[in-house]
Amino acid sequence: MGFLDRLLGKKSGAEKTTTEVGLHELEPLLEKRLEEAAARTLEDARRTVETIAREGGGILETLEEIEGKVFPEEVEKRIYKPVKTARPTYVKGMRKAVGEMKAGPDGRDIEGYHTYRKKLMATLKFVEKLQMGSGRYLALAYEDEVMRIGGCLNRIIDAGKELEESLEGYQERAALAERIRELKGELEAFREKLEGQRHGASSWEGRKEELEGRISGTEEALEALKRSRDYRDLQEKEAAMEEKEKGMEEIRAEVFSLLSPLGRLFRKYHKLLEGTKEARAVDGFVRDPVGRFLEGEDPGYILEGMKKALDQGHLVVKKKEMKRVMPKLERALAADFRGLLRRYRDLEAERAGLSRAIASDAAGKRRRRLERELEAYREELEELLQNPPGEEPEDRKRYRQGLGELEALLGELMETEVTLRTPEENPY
């Protein structure tokens, strides 16, 4: 299904017709369809949260069974102490987690469900640790009960994924609607530009003054935005993302500084291992040590192998080179590459989350829109000054191309042939 299917929820197979649309009709059309999409998303989210609450109730019932069940006599002697210790920890932790999941979102709007999903993911991470910790011991005496709880948790995880897909689907639809608005604005601005050109000498000075006024007004709007609390929040997010990127770059640089000086030693070791499985792994660090590390390959065991080969005399280097390379090898052996990779993955995930937040931030969208408008006004003013009366640029073809592009996009949006009605042809 096409653009309209995602944005408006149209069914496939609909018979295409020709529709005439005025530019002024796009905004109410988009508002209506987005409201319908939001309503569908909220209804899906409500049903999903009900599923989570229902499965959470099943977990609570099973926890009561665990608390009331007496160990079988043959089990008590063998695992009494570990299970006795694990049971209250598991029950208390699981009850707390289920309570958070059953609480639902604070607000019944799209943003409320977004916040709830983030909390749900954090709660499920806690539950995963609980299952692998206390739950592992508890399963020795309560295998059936722990398995039932695991089944409920699996269904909650599936519901969480459905919630995420539903919310992301709405975000995509909202982004597509925003792009339609941007195209409409660009087309209207271009039409205004052509109208100014058609007026010729009598309107050239007026258009110049108008553009200068729009530039000034847009600059003032940008400055006002930059003084707002929302913009400061956006800057904090951008600064936080830069910090994450800086941390990632520092880790890449640290890995490079640890492994790059050993490049010659890696090549010799690769030649020594030629024809073995280990040789392929070593070759990756010869070609791109940082890239190989970021793919998840821990160089620690390779470094240990090189050290051992040097100590045993299998890997031969000159005395002068040995004296130079050994401190670097020792330094690399002492590094915590697994810890570095965990830190890098954490920073990478945090940066991705901040990037999504910045992309959807209202202040950021307004800033980008104002900057685009300001650039367009400045470009038009520059072109206007370069083409005084009597030197009209040939922009009509470009304008028609823009209309065609917007008609094609709307045709996909509405699953029909679309003809745009513009002011110069028919009034709005």
Residue 319: the pLDDT is: 82
271 & 350 share domain: yes
Residue 237: the pLDDT is: 87
Helix (H) or strand (E) holding 107: none
57 & 122 share domain: yes
CB 427 within 8 A of CB 408: no
Burial of 261 (0-12, 13-18, 19+ CB in 10 A): middle
Count how many residues are written for the chain: 428
225 & 361 share domain: yes
Per-residue exposure over 202-217, b if at least 16 CB sit within 10 Å of its own CB, e if not: eebeebbeebeebbee
Residue 151: the pLDDT is: 93
User: How far apart, in Å, are the Cα atoms of 406 and each of 396, 409, 413?
Assistant: 15, 5, 10
205 & 350 share domain: yes
DSSP 185-237: HHHHHHHHHHHHHHTTHHHHHHHHHHHHHHHHHHHHHHHHHHTSHHHHHHHHH
Weakly modelled stretches of the chain, pLDDT under 50? 1-14, 391-392, 426-428
206 & 168 share domain: no
384 & 420 share domain: no
Two structure tokens written together for 68:
């009331």
CB 234 within 8 A of CB 361: yes
Containing domain of residue 328, as a range?
201-391
Contacts of 86-93 with CB under 8 Å at 24 or more apart are 86/133, 86/134, 86/135, 86/137, 86/138, 87/134, 87/138, 89/133, 89/134, 90/66, 90/130, 90/134, 90/135, 90/138, 91/63, 91/66, 91/67, 93/126, 93/127, 93/130, 93/134
288 & 241 share domain: yes
34 & 177 share domain: yes
Give, to the nearest 10 degrees, the angle between helix 201-226 and helix 362-386. 150
CA distance 336 to 340: 6
The DSSP call for residue 315 is S
72 & 161 share domain: yes
pLDDT digits (tens, 9 = 90+) for 390-422: 544 566 677 777 778 777 766 665 656 868 776
- Tell me the HSE value of 313 on the side-chain side, using a 13 A CA sphere: 0
How many structural domains compose the chain? Answer: 2
379 & 242 share domain: yes
3 & 59 share domain: yes
238 & 275 share domain: yes
CA geometry: angle 173, 179, 185, nearest 5 deg = 140
Number of C-beta neighbours around residue 396 at 10 A: 12
